[in-house]
Structure 1
Amino acid sequence: MKISEVMTRDVQTILPEQSIQEAASLMQRIDCGALLVHEGDRLVGMLTDRDIAIRAVAQGLSPDTPVRQVMSSGIRYCFEDEDVQHVAQNMADIQVRRLPVLNREKRLIGVVSLGNIASIHSQRASDTVLRGVAKAH
Structure 2
Amino acid sequence: MQLIELLSTEPVEKVSADADVVEAARLMRDHDTGALFVVADGRLAGVITDRDIVVRSVADELMRSARVRDIMSVEVVTAFGDQTVEEAKELIAEYGITRLPVVDREHQPLGILSLASLENKEEAQKKPLKVTAYKEKTDSSGRPHKVPLRTVYVTSEDSEEEAKGVAARIVEKEQRTPFVADGLATEKMPSKPAKTEK
**TM-score category of the 2 structures, normalised to the smaller one:** 0.7 to 0.9
What residue number does 2:106 align with? 105
Give the Cα separation in 1 of the matches to 2:13 and 2:116: 17
Kept in 2: contact 1:3–1:80 (CA 8 A): yes
CA RMSD, 1 decimal: 1.6
Between Structure 1 and Structure 2, whose CA radius of gyration is higher?
A: 2
1:43-87 deviation line (CA, Å, top 9, x unaligned): 111111111111111111142421100111011100111111111
What residue number does 1:24 align with? 25
Give the structure with the higher percent strand.
2
Identity %: 34
Kept in 1: contact 2:81–2:102 (CA 8 A): yes
TM-score by length of 1: 0.82
Give the Cα separation in 1 of the matches to 2:20 and 2:3: 32
TM-score by length of 2: 0.58
Which of structures 1 and 2 has the larger relative contact order (alpha carbons within 8 angstroms, sep 6+)?
1
Moved runs in structure 1, 4+ residues, more than 4 A? none
Kept in 2: contact 1:8–1:111 (CA 8 A): no
Kept in 1: contact 2:43–2:106 (CA 8 A): no
Unaligned runs of 5+ in 1: 123-137
What residue number does 2:2 align with? 2
**Residue 121 of structure 1 aligns to a residue in which SS?**
helix
Q: Any residues of structure 2 matched to 1:46-65 within 5 Å, and which? A: 46-65=47-66
Q: Any residues of structure 2 matched to 1:33-52 within 5 Å, and which? A: 33-52=34-53
In the alignment of these two chains, the number of paired residues is 122
**Residue 37 of structure 1 aligns to a residue in which SS?**
strand
Unaligned runs of 5+ in 2: 125-198
Give the structure with the higher percent helix.
1
